[in-house]
Structures are given as structure tokens and as C-alpha cells.
Structure 1
Amino acid sequence: MSTWAPHSEIGCPAEDFLCELNALFVRSVRHGEEDAFLIDALDLAMRAVGGDRAFLALVEQRTGELVVVHTVGLGWTPETARLRLSLAQEVGRGITGHVAVTALPYRSDDVSNDPYYVAYFRDVRSEVAVPILGVSGQSIGVINVESAVPARFTPLHEQRLLAIGQATASALRVSGFRARESALIEIGNNLTTTFDIDALMVKVLEVTEEVLRFEDCTVFLLDPLSNRLTLSASRGILAARVGESPYAVGEGVTGWVAQYGQPIRLENPRKDPRWRGVCVELPQDELAAMLAVPLLGRDRVLGVLRMVRRKSPHAWFSNAFSEGEERILATIGRQVGTAIENARSYERLVQTERMAAWGELSARAAHMIGNRTFALKGDLNELGFLLQEGLSEEVLAELRDLVRSMKLGVERLEEILREFRDFVVATQISRAPCDVNEVVREAVAETFPKRSPIRLEFALDDGLPQLRCDRRKLGRAFSELIENAVSFQPEEGTLAVTSSLLPRGERVVNGLGQSRDYIAIEFRDAGPGVPAEE
């Protein structure tokens, strides 16, 4: 960072300024750290106009509040930076706030007589501030420079600051584009790694929040049988209504998007004639804007992705969605539509394989049941014949043999029926968020012998995220592993049970994707193991 000299006659020389400004613009479109860029931009602003102190404030995009992010010059502390704008916001004045509202530069030669000035530092005599403008022309920040010299700043200084403001706006836009590009790539990776529709919808909300700013976001999926939109996932109060079907296709703004397959972007949506207010994420008087896009499959609408923003407490700050944000959400909608179709295709494939397996099992079971039924019929015929002959010891012995044979037949039939039942249950997975460590502990408590010579060791990571799984089936799998470990290792052996997040290096070794986290549960024992060929 360059040094600066207060009270220089006109700021840095024009040639030096133009060279540094050019370098700043070049940096604004290259890869770099946003925070470091803002610091250097403010430093150049200070030197370009020869001020005593300066600050750069950015607009908080949810509320419209101005927040000081960087300072340079005399008298700044973290506390003074925090309080510098809060006083002006309390009294509803301030030169910085005026510039943010009007999106125009402002220069005061004598702050003591200025209608907008709010005193904070006692030595200030003159001040200049310029807006940092977003693509819509609305202020996204302000650069403010102060001086202890009256009439310190000239129109030339104002023009220099405006140029620095444009470079800063360019850097912020490029930084936003890069963040969105990375997030969209991440969305593509994430949406192709799950085939569970419920988990997919939750992931949609998570990744959308990384790309776009919103107060709440909701996903509706179209039920083709009822021709209604079913609430599938939401980040806010509508999460309690998941499973409801509040809109028919064509009903309300959301139903309109589903009917025509077109996005819609509304500021103050309650004024739209299609508005129904049936299922809303916010109190209607707090709703500032709505953006809804279709989830598009190959040849039809699969649902609607909708987001809303709350009204800002500052009347000047518009919380409307932009055309660029509409394009981004529409892109996400197409990605999600493709992911839904992939998940449903996978589900149909699995169902086809299940039916094929069911057919194979049915044919085998029918043959086995037929054999056992034939044998039972023979046993019953023989039993009837023996009963007619009287009950000698020899006959009783034969009857006992027949009873044993019939019992074995019944037991085999029961075993076949259990195979049917187990097959049906195994193909029905009921996923829900759960603590995988708790499932491990329950399996150990239920399965590990109380007086076993095997030593049990636990090393569970308590910081693991929740896992969406079928708790009962996962617990059964853990129990079988524990039973095997106890049964097939020598006495005084050890069963070590561990849980952890799988390190990134091991993901590569195991051929797993890098865009999501994996939980590793290990059961280690001293048993013989399973031969590689088996």
C-alpha cells in the first residue's frame, strides 16, 4: 500500500493518479481478494484528493444499512468506524447517507453550514463523497473523504473519486460474478450426486442461498395426477406446511408460472392481479419482491422454485430482484429440473430391477412352496391312513416321525415367507435426518454382550453433521457387523468402533466425489476377515 501526505496541494499528480487508476481497473477484472482491493482503492482515493481521513461504506444488501468496511487516516478505531454512520442513520441525515439515497456525488466546502452534515470528528471542515453504483444505478456503497481545511476539495477531486468508485463497482461486480460461477458449478456437482427427491429439494435451497440473496425460498413440485403444486421444501415458516398442495396449476402467481413455464419477477407482488396470498413466506405487509421460475424437464414443467425478499426499513433502498438474478435462478431451475428427471429415472430403474428380482424370487419360491405343499399333503395322507389302523407303538413312532416332517415343512414355508417379507421391507427405504453416532451407540448397546471377553473401544466424532438415512436398517447393519466381530475373533480381542468425516485425500483414493462430505464408520477387530475371492 502506498503512503499518503495530508494537506498536499491538489492530491497526487495527475500522471501518477492516471497510472494508479489504470492499475486499479486492471485489478478489478482479474482474480484477486476483494477485501485487499477495497483497501487499496480507499488508499488511492485518500491520496488522489489529499484528505485527512477517509472511509468506504457498503450497503448491507438485506436491509439497506450503510456499513463502514475500511478506513484510512487520522483518528480511526474499530469503535469510531462502527459509530461513524450509526449517528447519521439515527437522525436521518448525513452526507454519506444523502449520497447513497441520491446516487449522486456531493461536495461540501464548509460542513458547519451544510444541511446534510452530521458532526463526528471535531476537526472536519470540508467533505466530499461519491457513490459506488450497481448495474441498476442504485448505490451499493459510498467513498467519503474529509479534511481539516475549508474548501479543500475541487470538482477535479470529485471526478477522481468518481473514477475510483467506478473501478470499485467493477471489482465488486466481478467478485460477485465469480462467486456465482463457482456456486453454479457446485450446484451442478451437488444435484447430480443424489437420487433422493426429498434430499434433492433440501439441497436446492442450500445451494440457491449460496448464489442469490433472499429472505426465504420455497420449492413446489407438480403432482400430475391432481394437477396441483405440492410444497416440497422451504427455508422458513412454510417448512411446517411441507406436503400440502396449496395451488392448482394456473392459480395465483406460482400456479401461473407452472401453467406457462415462464419466470416471473415482481416488485410489490400484492398489486399483481394474479396474486392470491394463499401460501406466503412472509407477512404480506412486509413482502417487497418475489421471483419465481419453473423447474423445467425435457418436455414439461416439473415444479416451481420461488423466493421472496422483505421490505427494507429505508425507503430509498429497493429490494427488487434484478433481471440478472432472474436469469441465474432460471438456470438453477433448469438444472434442478434435469436432476429431478434423473432421480425419477433412477427410481424407475430401481423399481424395474426390484420387479425383476421379485419375479425371480416368486418363481423360485413358488417351486419351493409347491414341493413343500406336495410333501405335506403326502404326510397328511399317511397320517390319515395310520389313524385308521390303530395306535400301536410302531404306529405312534411313525406318527411322531410324520409330525416332525410336517413341522419341518411348515418351518420351511415360514422361512420362504420371511424371505418374501424381508425382500419387500429391504426395498422400502425410509430416510430421515438422524445422529449417526446415536445409531452406533444403540446398536452396540443392543448387540455387544454384557460379559464378553472382547474389549470394546469407542472413538466417535461428536462434531459430525446429521445424516439422512433409514435409521432402523442402518442400525441393523451395524448390529450384524458387531455380531460378526464378536463371533469370529479370538478371546480377549478388541472391537474398535470409530466415526469421522472422511478426509479429502481418502475420498480420491475411494473414488468418491469432492463436492460433498462423507461420514466414515469403522468396526475394526482381530478376526480372520473375508477372503478376497469371496
Structure 2
Amino acid sequence: MGAYTECNDLQSILSCLDHVPIGVFVLSRDWIVLFWNWCLEEWTGIPQEEAIGVAIKEIWPHLETPKYVNRLTPIFDGGPPVVFSAQIHRYIIPVLRPDGTFQAQHTIVSALPAPNNQEFYALFIIQDVTDLVAHIQGYQEIYQQTLNETRDRQRTKEILQRRNRELALLTRASQALTSTLDLDEVLNQVLEEVRRLLGVVASSIWLVDSQTGELVCRQATGSRREVVLGWRLAPGEGFVGWTAQTGQSLLISDVSADERHFKGVDQQTGLTLKSILSVPLRVKNKVVGVLQVVDSQPARFSEADLALLEPLGASAAIAIDNAALIEMLRQRTAELEARNEELDAFAHAAAHDLKGPLGYMVGFAKLLAQDYQKFSDEELRHYLNLIAQSGQKMSNIIDEMLLLASTHKLDDIPLMPLHMASIVESVQQRLRYTIEEIQVEITLPDQWPLALGYAPWVEEVWFNYINNAIKYGGEPPRVELGATEQSDGYIRFWVRDNGAGLTPEEQKRLFKPFTRLDQTRIKGHGLGLSIVQRIVEKLGGEVGIESHIDQGSTFSFTLKAAPLQAAFSEEDDT
């Protein structure tokens, strides 16, 4: 009952300490807990009602060991305060923090007069100094580090001076790389900055070919740069290929001991390379190329050189990507401008070319509608044939316009062995009326070599060449067709006429879209040769012209020769 009264009296006196953010408890001379504040309850999870009136040894047995009893006993006689520092005693009471570590504590135990003023209690004030200890330890580490740096001040000074020079060079490099959007100029700037930074024997920039995945050397420096420029390496081949494939930088002290070394470099350049430093050029987590520096001295490069080259590579990658985008934009702009000009010419040509046959159709139709009773059956058939011919001509013009448009859209054309005799026969059937009407003489070879192509398009090429040979040929027209096998694996197909021939200036204008050479003599629709060129180029070939005044003209196109097995199969089919 006496202890209970003491506790109540003490609770009243110390109530101001109940909610302070430090741990507070009070022990009587017989080591009974008389006061236990809210902070201790939070730290330990032991409620006040369970702690007050309980012997301390039941809560923390270690406090009644000689280590603590010897120091705390004088307190109960009004002795001086006792300090338990966190540097010596990590903690006086164990409090587990959320991170699993124990709280560091600074504890002061003071004599507290009892309410009866006849004895003293022990007042424990516990402060959580975990963060303070951590800061002190951090300051101690910094202090020790500062001492170490001070001992080697000259070396530190040299390192700082070097870093300042490197940062200045990197800053200048970044400014230089952003000063132009021309891709070739950007690549030159990158390698010039590498030379300034590292003073190497040779360096190179390799960019990934988006079509094949190969690495292409786009720019290089060194005594044999012309040998390396344009080289292609497969993904994973050599140090460059490895860097591009893995996206990791590479520091090699002696290439001869590394199986990834591409021996062709030494053989082709005549240089004996020892040290190599390769850095990936990365844009948006995608490797677009590799920056590589080489030297003839072993162990020429260090981790510091790598740390210097990597930020330069990052800046270079962004500059290269921007320049590539600008170059692509320029190409697209040029293509669009050319397409717009072509569309303008296309519209004019279409309007002009359709106007002629449409005029004939309308005129003859009106004539027949007004006075058809006056015409004989033979005259009616003649006019109706003229209307039909004009309609067919309009249909041919529209078909060629659609074909011209299709060559813009289709990219992947299936190349198949061509039965050229059948294709030429189809063209002759399309031109049968014209051939018979003006007595055209056509000479064909006995046998056609087998080529690869797309039959509907190749038929249109023959149609335009033969049709032009008839239109612009002699009187009567004589047209000769043939084919010549070339040593480069292509076949040259040709059409020769007996016309007036073309001047060199006219030949230059031939394959421009919608160009007519003889407006007064032939009112052609002007689409043919433009279509021919576009078709042949889509099929991987080339168009050609040989002409001399008064000696006629020979128009040609090339197609890839079919492999032998396709040729045998063609012979079996025939």
C-alpha cells in the first residue's frame, strides 16, 4: 500500500514528463518501478500499468548486475548524476528499431528527492541518439578521409586539375557536337574530340545498318583510315560487334590474348594493335553504333580513360541520332518535293492526254446523235470504231496511270522466272491493230534467256518500248527485239527501231516523267518511259538508251538472270 501511494504521488509530480519525446522512468531504493512515461511505453511495448510497481529485474535483469548496481547505488543516497554515453554503452535498455537495429541511447541517472524528503529515487532520462551517432560517425569518416587527402595533397591537386581539363574538353566536345546537324560533320567532330582527349593512334565510328544489323565503319582516323572506311562486320564479330551486341564497354590491354580480336584488321591495315577501348553509342536504350579507339602500345588505356570516353560517347550518340533524323527528314522532304512536282506534271499530262480521245468520242457521238440517218452502215461502223478506239486509248492511259501509282506503293515484289516469249506475244496481241494497220515488221530471237522478274510489270516495259519503237520508227516501222547475257549475272533485253534517232540532249530527257520528244508528230500520253524506269529499278535492273541521228535508237533494260535449276525447270515445262 505504501508503494502504491508513492507511485500516485510521483505520478502527480512527474506528470509533465509523461508525454515528452524521451524515455523516463524512476526506481526506488529497492529497485521497484515508480514512474514509467508514455515514450517508454511506445519504445518497449510495455504499458504503464504493467511496469509500475514491478521490480526492474523482471523487465531488464541486466540493470541489477554489478556493472550497473555499483554505479547506481550512490544515487539513492543523493549522489552525483551518472552518465551512460552512447560511445561506451550503446544502450542501457534494449529498444529495437523498425530497421532491426538497436537504438543508440544517451542516458543520465540523477537523484530525485522522494515526496517525504527522507530518501532519494533514481531518475532515468534516456535520449534516442541513433541519428546523432550516425552523423558523428559520418563526420568522423569525412574527417579521416580529409586527413588522408591532406597527406596526399599534391596528388589530389593533380587529379583535380586533370578532371577540370577533361570536363572542359567534354564541354567543348558537347558544344562542337551540337553545332551542326550534318551527319558526316558530326562524325568528324567526334573523332577530333577523341584525338584531343586521348591522343590515340587511330579511332573509328561504326554505325548499325538498320536493314542488315551489320556494323558499318562510317568514319575513321589514322594512317590507314581509307582501308577501314566502309568495312562491314556481322553482329558479334570482333570487339566492335561484341560491344554492339552486348551494349557493354570494352577495355582490352592486349588484343593478341583475346579470342574476340578480328585478325583481318591487322592484316588489312598493316598495323599491330595492342590496346583497344570500345564504347557503345546508345540512344533510348538502343545501341546505334560503337566508338572505338586503338593504340599500338599494350595497356595504353585505363579505367579513367573509359570513364572519360563514355560520356563523350553518350553525347556523340545523341548528336548522331539527331543528325541522322535531320538527314532522313531532308531525304523525305526531297522525295515529297519530287513527288509533288511529279504529281503536278502527272495532272497536266493526264488532263492533256485524256482530252484528245475524249474529244474524239464526244465529237463523233454528237455527230451520230444529230445526223445518224444520213450515214450509211459502213460510215456508222467506221465512226463507232473510232469511238471504240478512243475509249480503248483512254482505258490504256488510265491503266498506265494506275500502274505508275502501284510502283510507288509496292516494295517487296516476288521475282519469278519469266517466260519471255509468252510475255512478248501478249504485247503483240495488245498492239495487233496498230501492227496490222501500218504494216509493222517485227523481228524476234529464236530463243529467250531466262530472267527473273514480275510478269505483269515486264509486259508493260515491253509494251512501252515496242509501242514507242512503232510510233517513232521509220515508214514502215521495223522493230527488232533481242537479249544479251552479261558477265555480271544480268540479262540485257533490248528493242531497236529504224527511226530518226535522238540527240544527246534528248536522250538526257528521255526517262523524266511525262516528257514527249516529238509533240508535232506523235501525241503520245507521256507516261511510258517513266513507268519503264520505275518498274525496272523496282526489279533491281537498269534502263538504257543508245541512239544516233538517222541511225535509229535501241532502248534496253536489264533483269537478273535466273539460276540454272530454274532454267532447267523452264525447259521441262516447255
Q: TM-score, normalising length from structure 1?
A: 0.41
Structure possessing the higher relative contact order (Cα contacts under 8 Å, 6 or more residues apart): 1
Q: TM-score, normalising length from structure 2?
A: 0.38
